[in-house]
Amino acid sequence: MEDYLQGCRAALQESQPLHVVLGNEACDLDSMVSALALAFYLAKTTETKDVFVPVLNIKRSELPLRGDSVFLLQEIHIPESLLIFRDEIDLHTLHQAGQLTLILVDHHVLPRSDAALEAAVAEVLDHRPIEQKRCPPCPVSVELVGSCATLVTERILQGAPEILDRQTAALLHATIILDCVNMDLKIGKATPKDKKYVEKLEALFTDLPERNDIFDSLQKAKFDVSGLTTEQMLRKDQKTIFRQGIKVAISAIYMDLEAFLQRSGLLADLHAFCQAHSYDALVAMTIFFNAHNEPVRQLAVFCPHAALRTTPREEFESGPTAVQASLGCLGCVMTAEDWSEYSQVIL
């Protein structure tokens, strides 16, 4: 894998047609690993001179926010410098020059900003329920399994098992385990196919880490925010909603609310964040795990405009609103009582 990635960076320097394997815009571990492993497989098995490169669908500066990805790359000794990020390759220019073929992994609908690239999509491999109307007109393989990495593993083991090296196997193995919550059948993320391919990888590479160890380390790394600035914390897991002309950022913050509020320069940082992205308000939803490993969630609302300070509260109290829906996406369902408990933390 490492040698292959070295070659990819070199290939970018030359002007030639490229097959780009692209994950989704969240660029979670599954998207990153699926793109790396599928591009590796396609490059190793093509009979033509075609060049296949994986592209991570975020800016390079966003990688530190994905603690689990950073951790896994370190564990298996793949230098971050070998990866290609979205801000290092201009897909739109390549497409206009007729030099781009896209293979989508871990998603099948391009965001609006990339709609122009749709004609370049040649293949899709995804594990989410299909959105028929917005699906590109090309071969689309969608199978509802816990992890897209399972489908990539299947493709490799059925197509050319001999190309699978330990680094690639370790990437796929760790990703399936994280996505399938350590293959816990009670949680219901893992399907028989996920289980089958984790076992196959373990049989082929007997020195892969223990499932519990890799799951615990990835989980810890994913939520470790100790090295992040306040701005990075706010961006790590953030959604934007618009309501009645008001733009609100909702950020999941993986620490105790009290500790968050004690960060030095917090108010100045929140101000700068709202100003930089023209947010009218910011909802920080803190989550941390107590001694019994139960999640504890708290909310803080930052609202730079005094005139708006009562609005969020009304929003929450008026039934299922966009704000509640967005919090739902972040794994938090708020009731009016919850909100009245938290409303005193309006900053």
What CA–CA distance (Å, rounded) separates 292 from 65?
Answer: 27
Nearer to Mn ion, 30 or 194 (CB): 30
Per rule CB under 5 A, is residue 148 in the interface with Mn ion? yes
Per rule CB under 5 A, is residue 126 in the interface with Mn ion? no
113-120 contacts: CB < 8 A, separation 24 or more?
116/92, 117/91, 117/92, 119/95, 120/91, 120/95
Token pair in block for residue 95:
């497409």
Smallest gap from Cβ 4 to Mn ion, in A, equals 22
**Rounded to 10 degrees, what is the CA torsion of 56, 181, 219, 124?**
0
Per rule CB under 5 A, is residue 106 in the interface with Mn ion? yes
What angle in degrees, to the nearest 10, is found between the helix axes of 29-45 and 67-75?
40
Q: Which of residues 14-43 bind Mn ion (CB under 5 A)?
A: 30
What CA–CA distance (Å, rounded) separates 106 from 118?
Answer: 16
Position with the least CB separation from Mn ion: 30
Nearer to Mn ion, 99 or 182 (CB): 182
Smallest gap from Cβ 179 to Mn ion, in A, equals 6
Q: Which residue has the tokens 């990153």?
A: 32
The count of chain residues that interact with Mn ion, using the rule CB under 5 A, is 3
Q: Specify the 3-state DSSP secondary structure of 108.
A: coil
Q: Which stretch binds Mn ion (CB under 5 A): 42-50, 98-106, 210-218, 285-293?
A: 98-106
What CA–CA distance (Å, rounded) separates 260 from 285?
Answer: 10
Q: Which stretch binds Mn ion (CB under 5 A): 103-111, 183-191, 225-233, 298-306?
A: 103-111
Nearer to Mn ion, 148 or 233 (CB): 148
Per rule CB under 5 A, is residue 194 in the interface with Mn ion? no
Nearer to Mn ion, 28 or 315 (CB): 28
Chain contacts with Mn ion (rule: CB under 5 A): 30, 106, 148
